[in-house]
Amino acid sequence: MTDTGRAVAADRVRAIIADFFSVPVAAVSDDTVVDDIPGWDSTTHVGLILEVEDRLGIEFDVARITAFRDVGDLIDECARACGE
């Protein structure tokens, strides 16, 4: 994963999260966790993951999804899956 590839993935994932939860993109950073976004719970997390997979054309391994601690982990996985 290159720095540029990660930056592209970060922009895309942050935009998806912001759109999904109707929050400003500026409210989403690498350090953002579930408790930081209103309405982000276990149920909406599943919907978000499906939205990310659909919009980026990727599929996550279930074991990796449960290991995400914050948005940064999700971005890293998206960058890997997209080959960026």
Region for residue 60 given its phi and psi (left: phi exceeds 0; alpha: psi -120 to 50; beta: otherwise): beta
For 24-68, the pLDDT digits (tens) are 999 999 999 999 999 999 999 999 999 999 999 999 988 888 889
Query: Quick one: pLDDT at residue 47?
Result: 96
pLDDT over 60 at 1, yes or no:
no
Q: By C-alpha distance, which of 59, 60, 61, 84 is closest to 7?
A: 84
- What does the alpha-carbon distance between residue 38 and residue 5 come to, in Å, rounded to a whole number? 29
For 7-17, the pLDDT digits (tens) are 999 999 999 99
Over its C-alpha atoms, the chain yields an Rg (Å, rounded) of 12
Q: By C-alpha distance, which of 23, 83, 21 is closest to 48?
A: 21
Query: Quick one: pLDDT at residue 82?
Result: 86
Residue 70 sits at φ, ψ, to 5 deg, of -155, 180
